Every structure is written in C-alpha cells, then in structure tokens.
Amino acid sequence: MSTISNDLQTPRPPLISEVPDERGRFGQFGGAYVPETLVSALEQLIDVYDRVRSDERFWDELRSLLTTYVGRPTPLYFAQRLTKHARKGADRTKGAEIWFKREDLAHTGAHKINNTIGQGLLTKKMGKRRIIAETGAGQHGVASATAAAFLGLECDVYMGSEDVRRQRLNVTRMKMLGANVIEVNSGSRTLKDATNEAMRDWMGSVEHTHYIIGSVVGPHPFPMIVRDFQSIIGRECKGQSIRQLGKLPEAIVACVGGGSNAAGIFYDFADDKGVRLIGVEAGGRSREPGQHAAPLSLGSPGILHGSLSYVLQDANGQTADVHSCSAGLDYPGVGPEHAYWKDNGRVEYTTATDDEALDAFLLTARTEGIIPALETSHAIAHALKLAATMPGESRIVVNLSGRGDKDVEEVGRLLAMRP
C-alpha cells in the first residue's frame, strides 16, 4: 500500500525531450545573451511561435508544403552494397546493416529546407518583408533564397569569402533564386564571421527583417524553433523503422555542425533509451587547436552567438580558429541542446577526420551511386566503423543530411593534394 501512495506522490522525472524551459534553458545551457536591441525581436518571435504552436492551421499549411513542395516524406533506404562492403573480410554475418534517411532527396538537396520553409511562414505571420541568413556550405543560403522566392520575400545571405571560394555552385544558385550574397572578409572568412555579420544586420533591421538562423544555435527561441521544424526527420524515421525494420534501429548516426540535422533525427528518439544516438563532429586534420571543428569533443562551455553551449576557445575565452574540409561543419560552436545531451549522457559524441570523410564520400559514391555531402560523409565514416562492432541483425540509420553536388570540385582539389 505504502509504495502505491509513494508512487502517487513522487512526481515523474522529466523526459529528456521536455526542454527547453520558458527561459530557453536546456539544463544549464542555452538562454539568450543578446544586446538590448534584439530583446524585443526575440520576444516577438517567442510570441508568434507560442501562438502558432497550438494552431492546427499553421501545421496543416506547413505539412502540405513539405509534401508537395519539399517532397517529404524522404525515404528510409537500405544501403545494401555499402553494408556488404563494410562486412567484407570479416565474418559476413557480422556487422550491422547501414540504412540512410534520405534528406539529400529533399528539395534543394539537404535538410535545411525543412527549417527555412517553417521560418519563412513565421516571417509572413510577423508581417515582415525581408529575411537574412548566414551560410557556410551555402546549403542554408540556397534553402533561404528558395523560401524567399517561394513566399515573395527579399533575401540577403551573408557568407565568408573562404566559403564563397569553396562553394561557388551554391553562390550561383542563390543569385539565380534572386537573393543577394554578401561576402564577409573578416576573421577566418567562414561561418562564424558570416553569423556575426548577419546578427549585426539584424540589430539595425529588426522592424522589417527576420533572421533565419540555419541551425539549432543562437539565442532562445531559435534552438527550439529550428529543432521543432527539423524534428519531422526523426518522426518520419520512427514510423518508417517500425514499418520497414519491424522495430526501432539500434543506433542513429548524424554529423554535427551547428547540430540541426542531428537534433532533427534524434529528438523523437530522445526518450527511447534502447536506441543509441551518436553525433559526429569534424575531426579535421588533427586534435590540435585550430585543426578541427569539434566543440563537444574538444571544447568547453562558453557563450557564442547568444547562447551558452560548448565552444572552441583559447585560455582567454577568445573563440578559436577551426578547420574542416566541409564548410558546413566549420564552426566553433554547437547548439545548446547537444551540450545538454552530452552532459546527461543521452547522446554520444565523436569525431571523423577529413581523410576518413573523404574516403567515406568516395566509397558511398562508388558502392551506392549516391554522392553524399562532405558534412554527411563524416557520419557515414563513423557508421562504417561502428557497424563492424555490432551484430549482424542490428541496424544503424545514418542521417544522409545532404547531397554532395556542391562538393565535387572541392573533393577533386583535395584528392589532387593526396600523397
């Protein structure tokens, strides 16, 4: 009898998915560390999002666009030849099956569009006429330019000049879609610097402009909003796993830049403790400072771009230089929900190097006829290692976050430099 009354009196512990709190905290992480000028813009966004969250018409409209315009649901696909290759040599019955959640088949070629269409609709709800965005690999820039064209909004995209060089194809795409691309020449001329400039623009333009942040980073409510829009990936994946595999997969692997494709596929599995969730950061050339982009694996808590999370920083708290062969992972910060998942142990974080990603890129192209993005190739590289340690009847789902058409020139250059 006493145990029953105790059970009734003990509040249920919160689920891992029940974050952030109303202050935008994921455990100790997150929050909104912003200048005064942005406070009212963030409050306006919180208000609008509060209203649409319970508005079935908003989600019906979004769902309809994701179906007819974006091409959702994206397939869950068994990478049979890649699996066979991974099993070669060893006992052929050993080694997990590798499956792909095909976000590369979404319109514009990556998961980014799930977020830009959602935030584009929010922009219209707020009565604003212009969007701005930052971009690294150019995928978020293309997805933002696409949403802007589709919804009749003006669009300016900030991009580091180093990334403009590496991702020329996407720069051309953005311009053709009617967006204005603003080259950023400060700092390391990559994603962090583009984000700084976009934030500066927003401070002077909040009245008519919405800043579409491209990942689960930035001040509250961005990490929550972007996660919610991307969580369609995991929700679909769960239903597809049950229908196609007859059960949930043993492990899910995703690459982590800012962390939006990973958060998108992980979120619906956060409370399914039997599913291992693994995030793969950019190991770059080595674990030396400046040679990688792995804040969760090698960084420490700090504030960057308006929120508290893991950051790569030097002893004085200055943001460190980063390196990755993939422009989309080349960022010293990461979303606060990942910091929370790291510290509570729900998600494991690891790294894959430039070389491992390049090998996985070529192997996937040649065995599957799928050219993955260099970002995604980091996740595939780790899945190949992980598969070998798992029994033959187990399944790994890799979030195939995007296609690699944008990377073929850069990969050619990197291959030419190989000894």
Between β-strands 29-30 and 25-26, what pairing exists: parallel, antiparallel or unpaired?
A: antiparallel
Interface with ligand PLP includes 260 (CB under 6 A)? yes
- In our burial notation (b when 16+ CB lie closer than 10 A, e otherwise), range 278-303 reads bbbbbbbeeeeeebbbbbbbbbeebe
Region 291-350 residues binding ligand PLP, contact defined as CB under 6 A: 328-329
Segment lying near ligand PLP (by CB under 6 A), choices 87-95, 121-129, 260-268, 354-362: 260-268
Number of C-beta neighbours around residue 391 at 10 A = 10
Residue 255 touches ligand PLP, criterion: CB under 6 A: yes
Query: Does residue 375 interact with ligand PLP by CB under 6 A?
Result: yes
Residue 110 found at the interface with ligand PLP (CB under 6 A): yes
Q: Classify residue 70 by its DSSP letter.
A: I
Positions of E strands within 317-392: 347-353
Q: What whole-number distance in Å separates Cα of residue 152 and Cα of residue 171?
A: 20
Cα(257)–Cα(329) distance, integer angstroms: 4
Secondary structure element (H or E) that encloses residue 341, with its range? helix 336-343
What is the total count of residues that contact ligand PLP (CB under 6 A)? 21
Q: Does 257 bind ligand PLP (CB under 6 A)?
A: yes
Residue of 24, 218, 259, 336 that binds ligand PLP (CB under 6 A): 259
- Residue 299 in contact with residue 310, Cβ under 8 Å? yes
We find the least distance from the C-beta atom of residue 262 to ligand PLP, in angstroms, to be 6
Q: Does 376 sit near ligand PLP (CB under 6 A)?
A: yes
Active-site residue (options: 260, 307, 377, 401): 401
Considering Cα of 336, then 340, then 343, then 346, what sign does the dihedral take?
Answer: negative
58 versus 310: smaller Cβ distance to ligand PLP: 310
Tokens representing 160 are 């580091």
The Cα–Cα gap between 387 and 83 comes to 8
- Is 348 marked active-site? no
CA–CA separation, 256 vs 398, rounded Å?
12
- Residue with smaller CB distance to ligand PLP, 206 or 370: 370
Q: Coil, strand, or helix at residue 320? A: coil
Q: Is 134 a catalytic residue?
A: yes
Is residue 401 part of the annotated active site? The answer reads: yes
Q: How far is the CB of 204 from ligand PLP (least distance, A)?
A: 26
- Looking at 97, 101, 128, 134, which residue is catalytic? 134
Judged by beta carbon, residue 240 or residue 377, the one nearer ligand PLP is: 377
373 contacts ligand PLP (rule: CB under 6 A): yes
Residues that bind ligand PLP (CB under 6 A): 110, 112, 137, 139-140, 215, 255-262, 328-329, 373, 375-376, 401-402
Residues identified as active-site: 112, 134, 401
